[in-house]
Amino acid sequence: ERFREKRVLLVGSKDTAEVAESYGFDVGNMAVTSSQIVKALPEIYPWPVTHCTLPPVDVNAADAPPIEAVLIFYWPSDWAMELQVVSDVLAGGRPLGVGTTGTNGTGVQCAELWSSNPDFLWQAGYPVPRFGTGAFVECLQALWKPFGRSPLEVQECGKPYAVQFQAARKLLSQLAQHDDFERIYMIGDNPAADVRGAN
């Protein structure tokens, strides 16, 4: 709710914009993607971006609202582009990425960073697990650290954190029109997040 009317950066795969729109975000205008930024500012990531159908957004324009949060819905398709643009957004400043300095002289984080889940690995069709959103966030933290900045603050809101399960229970209560469940079962594929969180 609190970011719906503010400029945010959406991170994820091909359907992230549609998912964000279904949550009520103003996609393409206040909720933007890295691809939109790169279309407007090709020098920010000097490799071609061909998969963006949304309009370009110049976040360096004098009248552009600041990006107040990065919302990682799930791991992105193009890690290199997302790592560059998200790092620039987190550093802030105009031009984006120049950074701002706190009172102690160290670089500060200029946008909140929210991640949908901490899964480092997940099982896909390939016989060996694939890197997930947690791995992407760890890459961001590794890129943030060498610049002498304060530690990167990340808000994780997916499994195994209680907020995810509280939201599911609330939805079940609304559907069932009561909240006196003796037991609720969770089905998942990742013991570290699904089983640990459900317990």
Q: What is the pLDDT of residue 40?
A: 95
- The tokens for 121 are 């690995």
For residue 165, what pLDDT is reported?
Answer: 74
d(C-alpha 44, C-alpha 34), whole Å: 10
> According to the model, what pLDDT value does residue 148 have?
76
Per-residue pLDDT at 50? 75
Give 26's contacts (C-beta < 8 A, 6+ positions apart): 4, 5
* Partners of 115 in the β-ladder: 72, 156
Looking at residue 52, its pLDDT comes to 84
Low-confidence stretches of the chain (pLDDT beneath 50):
none
User: Under DSSP, is residue 20 helix (H, G, I), strand (E, B) or coil?
Assistant: helix
Nearest to 197 by CA among 172, 176, 155, 169: 169
Give the per-residue pLDDT at 103.
66
Token duo for residue 74: 């799930």
Q: Residue 193: what pLDDT? A: 62
pLDDT digits (tens, 9 = 90+) for 121-167: 988 899 999 999 999 999 999 999 888 788 899 998 876 667 667 77
Would you state the pLDDT for residue 160? 64
Beta-strand (E) ranges in the chain? Answer: 8-11, 31-33, 69-72, 112-115, 121-122, 130-131, 154-156
157 Cβ neighbours under 8 A, 6+ residues apart: 114, 115, 116, 163, 164
- Confidence (pLDDT) at 196: 63
The pair of three-digit structure tokens given for residue 113, joined into one six-digit string: 């960073």
**Spatial distance between the Cα atoms of 20 and 16, rounded to a whole number of angstroms:** 6
**pLDDT at res. 144:** 93
- Whole-structure pTM value: 0.85
